[in-house]
Amino acid sequence: MDGALDGAHGASFVASLMDGAGHGLSWVLDELAYGVLLVSPKGKVLHANQAARHELARRQMVSVHEGHVQAGDAVQSRMLLQALAKAETGRRSLVGLRSPVRKRLNVAVVPLGTERPHHSIALIFSRASVCDAVMLCFFARTHGLTPSEEQVLAILCQGLSAPEAARQLNVAVSTVRSHVRSLCAKTQSNGVRALVGQVAVLPPIGAAHLQAPLH
């Protein structure tokens, strides 16, 4: 497209795109590995993508009660409500939620739109891992990795070392190191850190989670 979109023509063009984009944007959100919740300043759930529904259905760190999002306990729920109150005035924040088993979920609280007070707020969940299995599979196919190499890469992306990967796979450390050398050669990486770094910045596309009802 030649030229910049500006002025009345640009505004009307963007508006025409957005008029029919609702369903398309919803489908895009459902493909993301990040959970995304659209809520009101009081925490009423307006929309949840597939990854968010999956997280809510687990009922460990966040859940829905009577149509409103809440954290795992009263203290964390108050923290979340305070962050929503800040977002209503236009301020962004990050809330760290923990489950009884010490798992952690970071939630970015982002006000949407330009009008104040903000009536719509996005809660964006952190991913459970560096890379979703779907994108890891795409990465492996793109670079011609063997199933064993893909398996080793998945373990490295969990932050484990070569000896730890060897124990998990029940193979010799030398076997894992051989796979790592092959991985680096095929992906043109100069080490494990660079290799994992390539995977970490892949598009955040996740597996299609099954629809789960909101409780």
Delimit the domains of the chain by residue range. Answer: 21-125, 133-200
Greatest Cα pair distance, the chain, in angstroms, is 66
Beta strand 93-98 with 62-65 is unpaired
Identify whether the C-beta of residue 122 lies closer than 8 Å to the C-beta of residue 110: yes
Q: Which residues in 112-134 are b (16+ Cβ under 10 Å) and which e?
A: eeeeeebebbbbbbebeebbbee
User: Does residue 5 carry a pLDDT above 50?
Assistant: no
> How far is residue 87's CA from residue 90's CA, in Å, rounded to a whole number?
5
Same fold, 21-125 and 133-200: no
How much is the pLDDT for 28? Answer: 85
Give the three-class secondary structure for 128. coil
Q: What is the CATH number of domain 21-125?
A: 3.30.450.20
* Mean per-residue pLDDT over the chain, rounded: 85
Identify whether the C-beta of residue 53 lies closer than 8 Å to the C-beta of residue 209: yes
Is it true that the peptide bond before 213 is cis, omega within 30 degrees of 0? Answer: no
The model's confidence at residue 116, banded by pLDDT at 50, 70 and 90, is confident
* Average confidence (pLDDT) over 183-190: 96
What is the per-residue pLDDT across 69-79, written as a single tens digit (0 to 9) for each? Answer: 999 899 999 99
Phi, psi values for residue 97, rounded to 5°: -105, 145
How much is the pLDDT for 206? Answer: 78
User: Does residue 11 carry a pLDDT above 60?
Assistant: no
What is the per-residue pLDDT across 14-66, written as a single tens digit (0 to 9) for each? Answer: 445 445 555 678 888 888 888 999 999 999 999 999 999 999 998 889 999 99
How much is the pLDDT for 12? Answer: 52
Count of beta carbons in the 10 Å neighbourhood of residue 83: 20
User: Does residue 215 carry a pLDDT above 80?
Assistant: no
Q: Which helix (H) or strand (E) holds 29?
A: helix 22-31
Percent of the chain beyond pLDDT 90? Answer: 60
How much is the pLDDT for 207? Answer: 64
What is the per-residue pLDDT across 81-95, written as a single tens digit (0 to 9) for each? Answer: 999 999 999 999 999
Give the three-class secondary structure for 179. helix
Identify whether the C-beta of residue 111 lies closer than 8 Å to the C-beta of residue 73: no
* Average confidence (pLDDT) over 131-142: 89
What does the block give as tokens for 42?
């009081």
* Average confidence (pLDDT) over 173-197: 95
The CATH class of the 133-200 domain is mainly alpha
33: exposed, middle or buried (Cβ count in 10 Å: 0-12, 13-18, 19+):
buried
> How far is residue 58's CA from residue 212's CA, in Å, rounded to a whole number?
10
Q: Of 93, 95, 94, 85, give the one whose Cα is nearest residue 118.
A: 85
